[in-house]
Amino acid sequence: MNVTAIQLKKIDGQQMKNMLAAATEWLGKSAREIDALNVFPVPDGDCGTNMLLTMRSTVEQAYWLTDRKVSTIAKAVADGALMGARGNSGVILFQIWRAMAQSLGDKATADGPELAVAMTEASRAAYKALANPVEGTILTVMKDAAEAASRQAATADNDIVTVLEAAVTAAGKSVANTPNLLPVLKEAGVVDAGGQGLYTILEGALRYLKGGAGDMKTAEPRLILPEMPASKLTEFLMEEGAPYGYCTEFALRGDELDPDEIQVQLEKKGKSVIVVGAGPAVRIHVHTLKPGTVINYATRLGTMHDVSIRNIDEQRQAFLELQRQRAPAGEMSTVAVVSGDGLANVFRALGAAAIVPGGQTMNPSIRELLRAVEAVPSNSVIILPNNKNVVLTANQVQPLTKKSVRVVPTETVPQGVSALMATDFQAGFDKNVELMTRGMESLISIEITRAVRSARIGERAVKKNQFIGFVNGSLTAAAGSPADALVKTLDKTDQEKFRVVTIYFGADTTQSEAEDAGAKIRQHFPHMQVEVVEGGQPHYNYIVSVE
C-alpha cells in the first residue's frame, strides 16, 4: 500500500476526478448484486444499475476537464449527475454531488474538514429532496457517514484519508443496520440497496486514495449482509398485489421551472415522485400507471430529454428470477454459530442460510438457535455449532421443532468452514451430514489468544499476557507476540502433511499485523500456501485452518 497516499492531506480536482472514476468502476463490480437487494419501495431490481449509470454520467462530464481546481470538477460532476440520474437512488446521488459542489464553492483543493462539511451539506440536501424521507435507506447511510466524517475532522488526525475512512466505516455499519429501521427490509432479510451502493462508492474512493488502484482490478467490493436470514424473501416477492406500472424519468428544460409545483402536480399522477433542480432544468422520476399523462403535463412546461420509461412489473419478474439464481439449490439449509463480521461473511458466502452470533464467552441459547432454524426456508436444517460449548445446546433443538434438524459437531470455526466446503446442495440431507462430518475431520484448527492470568496446564507454564496457541483445543505453545505464537504452534504440528494455511484475524488485530504473520509463516514453512482473511472475531488474534 502506498504510504504517502495514506498521509494525503488534501486533494485537487484531478485527484477527485480519478478518485470518482475508480469508485465508479468499483461500484460496477457489484451492481448486479446490489440490484438483487432492491425490495424498497418496489422490487424493481435496478438500484445498483441506476447508481452505476448515474456515476458514469458524472465521470463522463468531468473526463475531459484539465482544470486542477476541485470546485470545477465538483461542479462538472454535479452537472453530469443531473443529466444522467436514473431512479430514486440516482436522483439522490445527484443531490449529494450538487450539495457537495456548492459546499466546495470556488476552492482549489479539499482537505479532511472541508470534505466533512461537504458531506454534511450533501446529507441535508438528500433529505430535502424527498417529500417523505424514510430512515433505513441511502439517506440514513449518508447521514451516518457525514456525522462520522465530522467527528474525525474535529480531531488532530483529520487528513482527507482518515476522514473518509471514518465515513466508510460508519457507512458500513449503517447499511448493516438498515433492516432494523425499515420493516420491509427486515421481512425480506436484506439490507437497503441504495445504502449498499453508496457504501460501495465511498469504499472505492477510499481504496483509491489509499493507493490501492492496482489492487482494485482484482479485488471485489464487500457486500454487507444483515444479521438475519433472507427466509421470507421468496414469499414476500411472490405476494400478489396491485401493478406497479411504469418507472418514468427524464430531464426537463424550460423557463423558470418550479420544482415544488411540479412535485405537487405529479403526486396526483403517480407515486415515488422526485423532482430535483430548479430554473432552466429539473430531473423528474415518477412511478405511474399512465406515463402518457406525465409526458403530456411535462411537454406543456418545456422540452424533455434523456427519457426512460420502464415496465416495473417486468422488472419485478426479472428480479424474482435473479433471486432464484442466487438461492442455493436443494431443500437443505445450514445454520452456523459465528462471532465476527468477517467470519459471518465467510460462512454466508459458503452457503450458510442463517448466522447466529456466538462463540467463545458468548454461547447462544437454545431459543436463539431454534429461532434461526424456524426462520430458514428449508424443512431440513443442519446446525454448525463451531464451538465445543455450543454442541450440547444445538442438540436440544430437534425436539422443539417439526423440522428435521441434524448437528454436525464442529468445535472450531475452521471445522465449520471445512464442513460447509464439503456440502453438496444437489445431494440428500443424510448424505450431506455425512459429507460435512468427514469434511470437518480433514484439518487441524489453531487458535491464538492472550493469557488472562498465569497458569500451569499440564507440564506447560503460561505467564499472564503471553500469547498462547492451541491445536484442536490443546495448549501447545506460548510466545511474546501473536505472530511468534502462531509460528511456534504450527511448528508443533506435522507440517509435512499439510499444504494450506488460512489465517482469520480478529477484531484486535490489524490487516498489516496479519499480513506480517502470514509472511513469517511463508518464511518458516515455504512449502505452505498462506491466505489471510478478515475474521473480526473477539478474543482470538488468529483462528487458523491448516489443511
pLDDT of residue 205: 93
Q: Where are the domains of the chain?
A: 3-237, 246-319, 328-440, 444-546
Pair 273, 294: CB distance under 8 Å: no
| Helix 482-491 vs helix 511-524: crossing angle, to nearest 10 | 30
* CATH class given for the domain over 3-237: mainly alpha
Q: Please give the model's pTM, rounded to 2 decimal places.
A: 0.50
Strand partners, 478: 468
Q: Taking a C-beta distance cutoff of 8 angstroms, is the pair 225, 191 a contact?
A: yes
User: C-alpha distances in angstroms, 176 versus 42, 161, 345?
Assistant: 20, 23, 12
Whole-number Å distance between alpha carbons of 125 and 91: 11
- For residue 273 the three cell numbers come to 415522485
pLDDT in tens, 123-133: 999 998 777 78
**Structural contact between residues 99 and 125, judged by C-beta atoms closer than 8 angstroms:** yes
What is d(CA 348, CA 228) in angstroms, rounded to the nearest whole number?
11
Please give the Cα distance from 193 to 141 (Å, whole number).
11
- Residue 436 φ then ψ, to 5°: -70, -35
**Alpha-carbon gap, residue 47 to 35, rounded angstroms:** 5
C-alpha cell at 297: 403535463
Give the CATH architecture of domain 246-319.
Answer: 2-Layer Sandwich (3.30)
For 227-272, what is each residue's pLDDT tens digit? 444 434 433 433 444 556 788 888 889 888 888 889 889 988 888 7
User: What secondary structure letter does DSSP report for 504?
Assistant: E
Q: How far apart are CA 376 and CA 386, in angstroms?
A: 19
- Asked whether 449 and 429 are in contact (CB, 8 A), the reply is no
User: What pLDDT was estimated at residue 407?
Assistant: 93
Burial profile 366-389: b = 16 or more Cβ within 10 angstroms, e = fewer: eeebbbbbebbbbebbbbbbbbee
Q: Does domain 328-440 have CATH number 3.40.50.510?
A: yes
Tens digits of residue pLDDT in 426-468:
778 888 889 888 888 878 888 888 887 777 766 777 888 888 8
Which tens digit of pLDDT belongs to each residue from 358-393?
A: 776 678 888 888 888 887 878 889 999 988 888 888
Please give the pLDDT value at position 304. Answer: 92
pLDDT digits (tens, 9 = 90+) for 414-426: 888 888 888 876 7
The CA-CA-CA angle for residues 504, 405, 371, to 5°, reads: 75
Stretch 480-505: mean pLDDT, rounded?
84
> pLDDT tens-digit profile of 309-347?
877 766 555 555 554 444 444 478 889 998 888 888 888
Q: Which residue has the cell 399512465?
A: 290
Give 444-546's CATH code, choosing from 3.30.1490, 3.90.75, 3.30.1180, 3.30.70.
Answer: 3.30.1180
